[in-house]
């Protein structure tokens, strides 16, 4: 099926592009549906539920615990820092004032 695009005007080209993009999305969705059906058929044939497949791994995403505080501001004990990421201003100011990292450890 060849389309002579040289004979099309701007509006007709835009319509053709729009229809082609729509069809492209439809084909992608159809592919996903077929793949999902295949996967579920395999799982059913093996006697395994989809939930069992990812069981014991904490789901698909792993969650991180916040890092423990490693340093404390001597002027304000409520301010702590884990040592990860950008240094807080109080930490940099303490170092500039002559403190050492080991002096700020909790």
* pLDDT (tens digit per residue) in 73-84: 988 999 999 999
Task: Evaluate whether residue 61 is within a structural domain.
Answer: no
For the CA atoms of 45, 47, 49, 55, the dihedral, rounded to the nearest 10 degrees, stands at -120
Task: Evaluate whether residue 59 is within a structural domain.
Answer: no
Domain of residue 23 covers: 8-53
Task: Evaluate whether residue 65 is within a structural domain.
Answer: no
Same domain, 12 and 48: yes
Q: What is the pLDDT of residue 62?
A: 65
Contact 80, 88 (CB under 8 A): no
Same domain, 46 and 80: no
Task: Evaluate whether residue 79 is within a structural domain.
Answer: yes
Task: Evaluate whether residue 1 is within a structural domain.
Answer: no
Same domain, 49 and 75: no
pTM of the model: 0.45
pLDDT at 87 over 90: yes
Count how many domains the chain has: 2
């Amino acid at each position: 099926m060849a389309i002579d695009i040289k004979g099309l005007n701007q509006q007709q080209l835009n319509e053709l592009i729009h229809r082609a993009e729509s069809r492209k999305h439809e084909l992608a969705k159809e592919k996903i549906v077929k793949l999902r059906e295949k996967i579920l058929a395999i799982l059913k044939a093996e006697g395994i539920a989809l939930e069992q497949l990812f069981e014991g791994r904490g789901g698909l995403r792993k969650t991180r615990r916040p890092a423990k505080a490693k340093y404390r501001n001597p002027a304000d004990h409520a301010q702590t820092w884990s040592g990860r990421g950008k240094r807080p201003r109080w930490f940099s100011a303490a170092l500039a004032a002559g403190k050492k990292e080991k002096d700020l450890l909790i």
